[in-house]
């Protein structure tokens, strides 16, 4: 039975990857952070009690800033595969906490690689690094592929650039099977609530059910190549099953704007929107309610989206579009879920949550819907 260790198992990708590896018969170990409240919601459905016979899922307390802790866990687990998904993964937050982001996202990767080397496991353990399209930042070529030069535009991207190169360096220096998946944005109903797609689907669902009045966003012109996390974790696993370790761009090859994603999400919630104004004055107004069962609390003329400059970033990545040709040719990977299908799944899930919250509110319970 192969054994995998996943950092960031409590995150979006970690939870989907853990499901996939369990399905494939792996013993799955994950690192979770100590928190004052439960933080395992995304993996609760696959949790197995350590007291259960033949349990194949186990969580270890740890942190990417803690060298001895990581070394001890790697030694204890003796993983065949390590997936380094743990990170302070929010680009805007990285401008607020640049040093912490560098420590976790940059040095955290080095600490894990060093643990493997220090324990003499270079020939046993394969290593996946969660690299990112943010490396391309101020894009030097369209579409972006494995050979496109990097130009990071945030503390997050700069930290991930160190992680990218140290992964390449350990492959070249010590013969470690180590690869970078340069993944473009990928989303799902499990996406963190402050990333733009989830903020939009959740915000619109809350407005539809009367829990909020207006959704405030930043740069509506930003263009992203959005895929589904389920498709992308499949590729993370595939990358570690090859004869030679290589780096791959994973993307859909199609981009849309934040504004278009708003429009698409509203349609899924039974609302048609009209956009007017420019820059900070842009608003989206309801022009038609197509499905009043989904959106009982919305009327024609309501302004439900506004721009708040608080969400602008000190330096922005305006456009990203990936070319997944290498992944398709060499590994036969292709994304199966379109952005429209993903958006529909996210809105349906958030509408269900919003309905439950509206019911609770109706019965006098306190409901917190805020997103910062
Ligand atoms: P999430 O933010 O959903 O998950 C991040 C995970 O990292 C969480 O489990 C989090 O724990 C954990 N983590 C945060 N800080 C630490 C730390 N100091 N020590 C240990 N673990 C920590 O991210 P995603 O699942 O979306 O992304 C997974 C990885 O892929 C990340 O590295 C991200 O940067 C990268 N990536 C993501 C893309 C995307 O579009 N989703 C695209 C390209 C790359 P907790 O739950 O306690 O917060
Ligand atoms: P990104 O994702 O920065 O691409 O990083 P995010 O969803 O945060 O932003 C995408 C684009 O939308 C614009 N935007 C807003 N973003 C947020 N979060 N909130 C808003 O209100 C808002 N309004 C407009 C942003 O300016 C940006 O242009 C994600 C993360 O998962 C990284 O970890 C990963 O490496 C990259 O994707 C690929």
pLDDT, one tens digit per residue, over 146-166 is 999 999 999 999 999 999 999
Q: Does the 196-223+257-314+338-363 domain belong in CATH 3.20.20.80?
A: no
CA trace torsion 311, 315, 319, 320 (10° rounding) = -100
Domain ranges within the chain, ordered by starting residue:
3-183, 196-223+257-314+338-363
pLDDT band at 53 (very low <50, low <70, confident <90, very high): confident
Q: Which of 170, 145, 151 is nearest to 84 (CA)?
A: 170
| Residue environment code for 3-21, b if the CB has 16+ CB neighbours within 10 A, otherwise e | bbbbbbbbbbbbbbbbbbb
Q: ipTM, 2 decimals? A: 0.99
pLDDT band at 73 (very low <50, low <70, confident <90, very high): very high
Which residue did the predictor score with more confidence, 369 or 262? 262
* pTM of the complete model: 0.98
Ligand with smallest separation from the Cα of 262: 2
Q: How far is CA 313 from the centre of its chain?
A: 19
pLDDT band at 371 (very low <50, low <70, confident <90, very high): low
Which residue did the predictor score with more confidence, 50 or 216? 216
DSSP β-bridge partners for residue 216:
306
Q: Residue 364 Cα, ligand 1 centroid: separation in angstroms?
A: 35
* Average pLDDT for 42-51: 92
Quickly tell me which residue has 């996210």 as its tokens.
346
Q: Mind telling me the catalytic residues?
A: 132, 134, 156
Q: Residue 72 Cα, ligand 2 centroid: separation in angstroms?
A: 34
Q: Does ligand 2 lie within 6 Å of residue 185's CB atom? A: yes
**Closest C-alpha residue for ligand 2 atom 9:** 196
* Average pLDDT for 124-152: 98
Specify the pLDDT at position 70. Answer: 98
Q: Residue 259 Cα, ligand 2 centroid: separation in angstroms?
A: 13
Which residue did the predictor score with more confidence, 346 or 53? 346
Alpha-carbon gap, residue 331 to 234, rounded angstroms: 11
* Average pLDDT for 195-209: 98
Q: Residue 185 Cα, ligand 2 centroid: separation in angstroms?
A: 8
Q: Please list the alpha-helical segments (H only) found in the chain.
A: 12-23, 67-77, 91-96, 98-101, 108-118, 155-174, 196-208, 229-239, 258-268, 325-331, 339-362
Binding-site residues, ligand 1, Cβ < 6 A? 7-8, 10-14, 31, 33, 39, 63-65, 85-89, 104, 130, 132, 183, 185-186, 192
Cβ-contact 149, 106 below 8 angstroms: no
Specify the pLDDT at position 50. Answer: 83
Cβ-contact 152, 137 below 8 angstroms: yes
pLDDT one-digit tens code per residue, 215-240: 999 999 999 999 999 999 999 999 99
Quickly tell me which residue has 């930042």 as its tokens.
137
DSSP 3-state of 274: strand
β-pair type (303-307, 215-217): parallel
Q: What is the CATH number of domain 3-183?
A: 3.40.50.720
């Amino acid at each position: 039975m192969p054994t995998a260790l996943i950092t960031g198992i409590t995150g979006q990708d970690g939870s989907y990857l853990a499901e996939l590896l369990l399905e494939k018969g792996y013993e799955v170990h994950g690192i979770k952070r100590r928190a004052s409240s439960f933080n395992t919601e995304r993996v609760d459905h696959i949790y197995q009690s350590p007291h259960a016979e033949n349990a194949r899922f186990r969580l270890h307390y740890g942190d990417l800033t803690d060298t001895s802790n990581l070394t001890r866990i790697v030694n204890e687990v003796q993983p065949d595969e390590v997936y380094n998904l743990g990170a302070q993964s929010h680009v805007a937050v990285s401008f607020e906490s640049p040093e912490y982001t560098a420590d976790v996202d940059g040095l955290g990767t080095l600490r894990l690689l060093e643990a493997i080397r220090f324990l003499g496991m270079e020939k046993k353990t394969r290593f996946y690094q969660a690299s990112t399209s943010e490396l391309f930042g101020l894009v030097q070529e369209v579409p972006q592929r494995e050979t496109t030069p990097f130009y990071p535009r945030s503390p997050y991207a700069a930290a991930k650039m160190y992680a990218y190169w140290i992964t390449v360096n350990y492959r070249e220096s010590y013969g470690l099977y180590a690869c970078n998946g340069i993944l473009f944005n990928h989303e799902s109903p499990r996406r963190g609530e402050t990333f733009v797609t989830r903020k939009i689907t959740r915000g619109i669902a809350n407005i539809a059910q009367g829990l909020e009045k207006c959704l405030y966003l930043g740069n509506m012109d930003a263009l992203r190549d959005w895929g589904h996390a389920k498709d992308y974790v499949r590729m993370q696993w595939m990358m570690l099953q090859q004869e030679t370790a290589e780096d791959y761009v994973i993307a859909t090859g199609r981009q849309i704007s934040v504004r278009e994603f708003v429009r698409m999400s509203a349609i899924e919630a039974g609302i048609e929107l009209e956009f007017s104004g420019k820059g900070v004055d842009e608003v989206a107004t309801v022009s038609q309610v197509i499905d009043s069962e989904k959106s009982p609390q919305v009327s024609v003329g309501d302004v439900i989206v506004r721009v708040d400059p608080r969400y602008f970033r000190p330096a922005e990545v305006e456009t990203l579009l990936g070319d997944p040709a290498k992944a398709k040719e060499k590994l036969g990977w292709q994304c199966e879920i379109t952005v429209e299908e993903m958006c529909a799944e996210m809105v349906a899930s958030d509408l269900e949550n919003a309905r439950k919250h509206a019911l609770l509110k109706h019965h006098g319970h306190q409901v917190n819907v805020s997103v910062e």
